[in-house]
Amino acid sequence: MAKTNPEAKQKQSEEDEQRKADVTYRRKPNAIADYQVQEQTVFVRSENDIELRVTVHTPEIIQLRYVLEGDRPTDFSYAIAPDFNPDNAEFSTRETDQYLEITTDSLICKISQKDMKVSFLDSSGTELCKDAKPFHRKDSIMKGITEVKITKEAPEGTHYFGLGDKITDDGMLRGKSFQNWNTDAYAYELDEHRDPLYRSIPFFTAINKDGNAYGIFMDNTFRSHFDFDSDDNNTCTFSAEGGCMNYYFIYGPDPTTVTERYTTLTGTPELPPLWGLGYHQCRWSYYPEERVRTLAKTFREKEIPCDALYLDIDYMDDYRVFTWNNDRFPDPKKLISDLKEDGFETIVMIDPGIKVDGDYEIYQQGLKNDYFCKRPDGELMIGPVWPPKTVFPDYTHPEVRQWWGDLYKDLLTEKGVSGVWNDMNEPAVFEVKAKTFPDNIRHHYEGEGVSHKKAHNIYGMQMARASYKGIKKHNQGKRPFLLTRANFSGGQRYAALWTGDNIANWEHLRHALEQCVRLSISGYSFVGTDIGGFVEQPSAELFTRWLQLGIFHPLFRNHTMGYDAEGADVVKEDQAKQKKIQSDDNQEPWTFGQKYTHINRSVIELRYRLLHYLYTAFHKYVEHGTPILRPTTFHNQVDAKSVNSQNTFMFGDHILVAPVIKKGARGRKTYLPSGHWYDYRTNELLEGGKTHQVDAPISEIPFFIKAGTVLPLREVMQYTQERDPELLELNVYYGTQVSESHLYEDQGEGFTHNEGDYRLTKFQFESNPQEKTLRLSADREGAFTPKYDTVKINLIGLPFEPEGVEADGRSVSIQKSSADQSVYAFEVDPDFKTIRVY
């Protein structure tokens, strides 16, 4: 007789007890029983009473919701843009023995009669996406819903992109799994804390082997999981730990269009102030007042352009938000006014946590009006952040958001602050392993009344929403500038993002490249990183290479934890493993000696030269949802080689960037996609579809301009609004294809552009190599008149010696550029319509 293993017996006994303690149900649909059509939605019911609601929003956007008993289905969503206006697209339904088919002009949605598995095909019948298994839900008596899950086929050759700021070893999502749960991930990767990170964006794009692209957005705010064939079984899954399965299928067919459609669905921000795209300097922490003044003075003395300075938490009175430390900043209004006179905007940090203090007016207001998050029995949620005892506003309540927004009035109208930086809003809680609230904390959630399990991932988003509304209200006539750490899909409507507390090492420089591109194609184009790294110190080389990469990130901010005050003793659990950064460990552009000061100045000046191009790309993002940063493969998704080009990216429509991200490298291999490209630095013409070895001395970052592009260049100024521009330069890169470029201009501040006070110029370039001629036309719309009175045109790559130039029928003098004899230059009127070179 075999002996009984006591440990196994004990384990079996425990499992038996667990089964008795709760009962788990696993549910999936069986055969279709019936269906009905109501307006834009097809309601499909299975024989075991699982309902699939298929809503046709546009010919390319179809929403699927699975509803079971006990669910609380609703059309409410924090993610979907309030002004999303679907066109009520026409569609038809048809039943066969095998499928129920829903057909639009662009898509065919096929639902299996057997088990309600869903397939999507394009209008020609080519399969795009297919369920590998039926929808699945797991729930129990004691825990409720613990999983809603979709399993899709992941055929060989399908590649996945997006999902927000996720980081990988090779830049590829395929073969990996991730979760979305907003987390205070200080120094992520020091202890392999690479996932989850600060924000949750449950949206990805897939490109099939044939080049067809589609996207999936799961609109569910619970903790979610995405698996891109990590088990190598050719399946892709996405699931959430509660709520309804609610996802959108978004067709391209090209990947940039997928992102545009998703961003139209979830919204875009307003145009930022032009200064928001300039260079920003930040540190934990600049104080006292004299140190801030010295910082500003040094920028101007060294003639390094800068538009904004940040004040971290140490400007506050003992971490009380919306207060000032009078010893460190005795007259903040005068300081901010003086900085403004010198061209610096001031941005201050505001955290969500409110210090528990009976003498603190804001705490008393929130307590009196019942504005703070509570436990189920009504007890306040109190936890340590920077103050040892902190309470947290419930931003899912409209009244709380209104109150919070009005708290900014003094900062904006009295002190003159220009922008705000919301931090710690995952929400972060110190000293506990979870780093955040318990799951059972209650939230208003627009009257629905939910637990933190559902509200956690949108907490930071709703804080940003409240801040944004308050800033816009109390900084009247000016465009809001708001930066946030935590967010959710749709939060791009309210705030810019930075990637959080990164590390000053070469690996995190690579992450900076990957994360910002990934965020941009996930709807968040206004992104950047802490240039140079937040934790630890960069070398001179690393800082310069990071600064060069930052030129091409819409948010251009240098930030470090160079912290040297008593507050350094108040640290997060992870921070305890880091040495304190001493007061002389600075990270300003002049920190690394004269050689690097000169280089870093020229790097920042290049950013200011490219501001016209970036501002135009931002306008296109606002109007059409077009991501400013894109993977190289988005330029031509059928180019197999470009899929593997993980260390290059597209910046707008016409520039490919090839940053240097390896220590000691003074050159790099760069794959250029199809077409022809010019090296911006040398004007050398390079053939696409090939890999090129390009030089990259420490003073330069390689980037390439697509042939046929008209690239607008701005005059370098010490800050964006230092003076009215006197000159617009247009670099015209010769090509053999008809090409379009754009230039968007307005006041750079305020909202008159919404009333027509803007200028959008469409340039069309075409050439005739046989006749040795080219034509450049300019069509303009809008009432804005730029201040410059001259346009200088630089013709680059011209394959013939020009005999003459006509601008609107009048002869114009042309000559070779003194800086580059291969470039021909001439000047024309700012309102020119047609230029002919022959």
Can you tell me whether residue 512 is helix, strand or coil?
Answer: helix
To the query of whether residue 426 is one of the catalytic residues in this protein, the response is: yes
- On whether the CB atoms of residues 241 and 453 are closer than 8 A, the answer is yes
Burial 636-667 (b: 16+ CB within 10 A, else e): bbebebbbebbbbbbbbbbbbbbbbbeeeeee
Residue 232 tokens read as 């190598």
Quote the strand ranges of 479-607, DSSP E.
Answer: 482-484, 496-498, 527-528, 530-531, 556-558
Collapse the DSSP code of 33 into the 3-class scheme (helix H, G, I; strand E, B; otherwise coil) and give the result.
strand
Q: CA separation (Å) from 281 to 344, 347, 387, 625, 794?
A: 10, 10, 26, 28, 33
* Strand partners for 145: 139
Check 131, 314, 394, 423 and give the catalytic one.
423
- Which member of 307, 501, 536, 746 is catalytic? 501
Q: Which tokens go with 346?
A: 């001031």
Looking at the chain, how many residues does it have? 838
Euclidean distance between CA atoms 42 and 65, whole angstroms = 11
Q: For residues 448 and 394, is the Cβ–Cβ distance under 8 A? A: no
Specify whether 423 is catalytic.
yes
- For residues 432 and 459, the answer to whether their CB atoms sit within 8 Å is no
> Would you give the end-to-end CA distance of the chain in angstroms?
102
Contact 720, 753 (CB under 8 A): no
Which two three-digit tokens encode residue 159?
Answer: 């590649």
Sequence-ordered strand ranges (E) for 260-300:
279-281
501 is catalytic: yes
Which one is catalytic: 229, 260, 426, 729? 426
Rounded CA separation 788/494 (Å): 33
Tokens of 474: 């109390």
> Phi and psi of 128, rounded to 5°?
-105, -45
Q: Using alpha carbons only, what angle is made at residue 409 by residues 355 and 754, rounded to the nearest 5 degrees?
A: 130
Which residues participate in catalysis according to the annotation? 423, 426, 501
